Copies of this chain bind each other. A is one copy, B any other.
Amino acid sequence: MNTDGDLHLVLSLSCPDRPGIVSAVAGLLAEHGGNITESQQFGDPSTGLFFMRVQVQTGAPREELEAALAELAGRFEMTWHLDVVGRPLRTLVLVSKAAHCLADLGYRQRNDRLPIDVVGVVSNHTVLEDLARFYDYDFHHVPVTADTKAQAEARLLELVEEQDVELVVLARYMQVLSDDLCRRLEGRVINIHHSFLPSFKGARPYAQAHARGVKLIGATAHYVTADLDEGPIIEQDVERVDHGDDEREMVALGEDVERRVLARAVRWHAEHRVLRDGARTVIFR
């Protein structure tokens, strides 16, 4: 039950699993006048970790709640994050030449389907400049060659810092980020890979898929880590193909899966529904 005028907050947390976490959190929120409007939890026996996401309506000042949570977090060794429900995440989108993911993210953001604030579009090419401008996004052309890769990444980091970027989306950006950049931005970079991972890692996955004769093609949105195509998976989906679909047609069919999978992953991340659980993710939909 929502009460107008109150803060609507989302709390996500993880900690070593042990009895009493739910009632401790629920109790704390109740003490500070909080009314829980949505709550999910999960204990993973394989990692011994506990995960929770709570949406709470409260009349108490946010600072008061944060202080109480900090105390509780200490006791339970919690990693936690508190945010306002629906606050758009400051997002930088990286693209190369393929338009479908940017067109889709732009459409969704513009039509209030995606709680992100696109603070810039970066590309190593210029073909998508028009599209970015159509959505009123700042466009940055940052070319990348073997020689200029370090400079390009420095420019990226600069943009991330200048713009207080909270999320970087690789929307079919055809450059591999350096290990160092991956580590610096870990947990804040989502990539869309155009295959059903772990099948067909690396380059030209649709060519690989065609050669192997698979009957479904897929796409995978995952957090980027230093291990290429090995980061924790957020979302996957597939589309049926048949013997008549050559690589070119698979590419076309794949675009639909890619943009759909990426949009879901970005939305769930921006709504604080994705929690890291070792090499996996917990998704509180």
Contact = CB atoms under 8 A, between A and B. Distances in A.
Contacts of A232: 213
Interface string A1-45: 111000000000000011110110011011000011111111111
A146 to B, nearest CB: 29
Nearest to A196: B196
A252 interface: yes
B243 A215 contact: no
Interface in A188-234: 196-200, 210-216, 218, 232-234
Interface of A is mostly: mixed
B236 A215 contact: yes
Nearest to A277: B243
Nearest to A279: B213
A283 interface: yes
A111 to B, nearest CB: 6
Nearest to A29: B23
Interface stretch (A67-75, A78-86, A99-107, A157-165): A99-107
Nearest to A40: B40
Contacts of A130: 134
A210 B278 CA distance: 12
A276 to B, nearest CB: 10
A138 interface: no
Nearest to A33: B19
For the complex of A and B, list the 9 residue pairs with the smallest distance between their C-beta atoms, beginning with the closest.
Answer: A213-B280, A23-B30, A19-B35, A26-B26, A22-B36, A23-B26, A243-B282, A215-B236, A1-B17
13 contacts: A22-B39, A23-B29, A23-B30, A26-B26, A27-B30, A36-B41, A40-B40, A42-B244, A196-B196, A196-B216, A198-B212, A214-B236, A256-B260
